[in-house]
C-alpha cells in the first residue's frame, strides 16, 4: 500500500536533515509565514510531510540560488494568492519562469513595502 505524501511523518530534526537545513532555519521559515507544519495533537511538536519537504527545498533554492529574501518570497506568495494560483508547487517548481516573472515584477514596480510605504528588499545584496 502506498502512503499518502500529505501525511505528516517527520519531526523537525528529521525534516531538517532531509532537506539539508537546520531545525532553526525551518523555524525561521515558519516564523516568516513561508511554511505551516502540522502539529502533533496535544503538543507543540511540528510534523512535516513529503510535500512540505518539497516546498522547503524550493524556498531554500529561491533564497540561496536566486537571492530572494523571505520578504520577497512572501510577496510572491501573496501575489499568487491574489491571482488565485497555487504557488507552492505549481508556480515555483520551474525556476526559469520564475526568473522571468521576477524580472517583470521589477520592471512593473511590484515591490514589497511595509505599512509605512518604505520599500523592503526582495533580493539579497550579494555584492
Question: 42-76 pLDDT, tens per residue?
Answer: 888 999 988 889 889 888 988 888 788 888 888 87
Residues 111/122, Cβ–Cβ less than 8 Å: yes
Domain boundaries, the chain: 10-120
**Residues ≥6 apart with Cβ < 8 Å to 94:** none
pTM of the model: 0.68
Pairing state between β 38-39 and 10-11: unpaired
Q: Give the 3-state secondary structure of 6-46.
A: CCCCEEHHHHHHHHCCCHHHHHHHHHCCCCCCEECCCCCCE
Report the pLDDT averaged over residues 12-38: 94
Q: Out of 1.10.760.10, 3.40.50.300, 1.10.1660.10, 2.60.40.10, which CATH number does the structure's domain 10-120 have?
A: 1.10.1660.10
Amino acid at each position: 500500500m502506498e502512503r499518502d505524501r500529505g501525511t505528516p511523518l517527520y519531526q523537525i530534526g528529521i525534516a531538517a536533515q532531509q532537506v539539508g537545513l537546520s531545525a532553526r532555519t525551518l523555524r525561521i521559515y515558519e516564523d516568516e509565514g513561508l511554511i505551516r507544519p502540522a502539529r502533533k495533537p496535544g503538543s507543540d511538536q511540528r510534523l512535516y510531510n513529503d510535500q512540505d519537504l518539497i516546498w522547503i527545498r524550493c524556498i531554500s533554492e529561491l533564497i540561496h540560488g536566486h537571492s530572494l529574501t523571505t520578504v520577497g518570497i512572501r510577496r510572491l506568495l501573496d501575489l499568487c494568492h491574489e491571482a488565485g494560483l497555487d504557488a507552492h508547487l505549481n508556480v515555483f517548481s520551474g525556476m526559469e519562469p520564475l526568473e522571468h516573472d521576477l524580472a517583470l515584477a521589477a520592471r512593473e514596480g511590484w515591490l514589497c513595502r511595509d505599512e509605512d510605504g518604505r520599500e523592503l528588499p526582495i533580493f539579497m545584496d550579494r555584492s
